Amino acid sequence: MTDQMVDAPPAAVPAELTPGHSRWHGLRPWLPLVALAVAAIVPYSTLVLPGIFEGPLNSPGTLQLLAVCLVFGGLAAGYDLLFGRTGMLSFGHALYFAAGVYGTDILVTRAGLPLWQAGLFAVVGATTLAALLGAVALRTVGIAFAMVTLAFAQVGAILVARNFGGWTGGEEGLPLDVSGLPPALVGVTNTVNLYWLALAYLALVVFVVHRVSGSPTGRVLAGLRDDERRIGVLGLDPYRFKLVAFTLSGGLASAGGVVYCLIVGGASPHVTSSELTLSLLVMVVLGGPGTRWGPVLGGVLYMYLDHRLTAFGASDAVDALPAVLSAPLSQPLFVLGTVFILAVYFFPGGLASLTTRLAPLRKALRPPR
């Protein structure tokens, strides 16, 4: 009894500082690259995972679903730069994503620009927009900031839905005109290229967020999250740093929008809705805010569940249940919303905290030395 108590390591030391087991410890820094390599060769596999995906892994349907999941993983990681790492609760992130989607779509379809120009303009435009709106919205803090960003994003939703000048296609959305696109990105057989594009986007976002959070700026951002007044006392301007994070995060979201527009082959008004921002928030919280892999995991898993729960809700197993149960279960948002509430209560650190939470259990299960 006493022996065990002495043995227990101090709880305050973070996992990455304690030396791990020798064999795995050396591999740890390379794990992201290994994961990237595995994800990159997935399209060469014809593995069939019944119940998880409908077709084999390299079928276009599965690859498209995976690509959407990866884009949202990247989006969630970019949103986490605001929410988890800087502590800003923005409810308007969908606006910059939608600016990327609709910007690319309109410039390609209506203006006939080549893809690279359209994508570039869309990202630059959306980043500028984020800087301008951020400059206004950041005059408020906390909850008021959340409301203001929500209101700004609502303007985007109205502009798209009301279809001013017939540019956005209104409620029906705007299918992407593929005639001017590079042939490698068009057609069902080329879904694999879009998958790689989405993977590249995810890798880019993770890399940027990782570099930023490791830089001196990133440490100021973490300081803003923990105690904004203290940063002010230290002589740094919180407003500027928050604006930098807001702009960067908006820019990353718009790049995701460009990729998403290609994967889905057009734009639909639901990308402008506040529900999209709310779901980003759900992804980050489910995954674990402020961690490197938590938001990515949360985003991928959320999108996967959002797609698959629809099929699950229509399956025989659910239909066989009494109507009181089967009706709510057929709504993916009901399931995800409930899981989210439970996660806020019982898993404040999200999926990323599972390893530390399970550590005592593993320790207990390990045979005594």
Return the number of the residue (219 or 270) whose C-beta is nearest another protein. Answer: 270
Would you say 177 or 228 has its CB closer to another protein? 228
Kindly state the tokens that stand for 151: 């209101």
Nearer to another protein, 66 or 352 (CB): 352
CB of 50 to another protein, least distance (A): 28
Shortest distance, position 223 Cβ to another protein, whole Å: 15
Would you say 215 or 310 has its CB closer to another protein? 310
Give CA–CA dist 231/221, Å, rounded.
9
Q: Which is nearer to another protein, 136 or 359 (CB)?
A: 136
- Tell me the closest approach of the beta carbon of residue 246 to another protein, in angstroms: 15
Please, which residue, 139 or 219, has the CB nearer to another protein?
139
- Cα-Cα-Cα-Cα dihedral sign, residues 203, 206, 212, 214: negative
Residues at the interface with another protein (CB under 8 A): 89, 136-137, 139-144, 146-148, 150-152, 154-155, 158-159, 161-162, 164, 228, 274-275, 278-279, 281-282, 285, 327-328, 330-334, 336-338, 340-341, 344-345, 348
CB of 126: closest distance to another protein in angstroms? 18
Alpha-helix runs per DSSP H in the chain: 2-7, 22-25, 31-41, 60-86, 93-109, 115-137, 142-162, 191-214, 216-226, 228-233, 238-264, 274-287, 294-314, 316-319, 323-329, 332-346, 354-365
Q: Give 299's Cβ-side CA count (13 Å radius).
A: 31
* Distance, first Cα to last Cα, the chain: 14
Q: How many CB atoms lie within 10 A of CB 242?
A: 24
Residue carrying structure tokens 């101090």: 10
Contact of 321 with 329, CB cutoff 8 Å: yes
Name which of 191 and 330 has its Cβ closer to another protein: 330
Give the Cα separation of 181 and 175 in Å (integer): 13
For 132-180, the three-class secondary structure string (H helix, E strand, C coil) is HHHHHHCCCCHHHHHHHHHHHHHHHHHHHHHCHHHCCCHHHCEECCHHH
Region of residue 169 (phi > 0: left; psi between -120 and 50: alpha; otherwise: beta)? left
User: By C-alpha distance, which of 351, 31, 350, 32 is closest to 199?
Assistant: 32
Please identify, using beta-carbon distances, which residue of 59 and 163 lies nearer to another protein.
163
| Least Å from the CB of residue 151 to another protein | 5
Could you tell me the smallest distance in angstroms from the CB atom of residue 101 to another protein? 20
The DSSP call for residue 43 is G
**Gyration radius (Cα) of the chain, Å:** 22
Nearest approach, Cβ of residue 283 and another protein (Å): 12
Length of the chain: 369
Taking the complex as a whole, the smallest distance from the CB of residue 150 to another protein amounts, in Å, to: 6
Report, in Å, the least distance between residue 72 CB and another protein: 16
CB nearer to another protein: give 117 or 338: 338
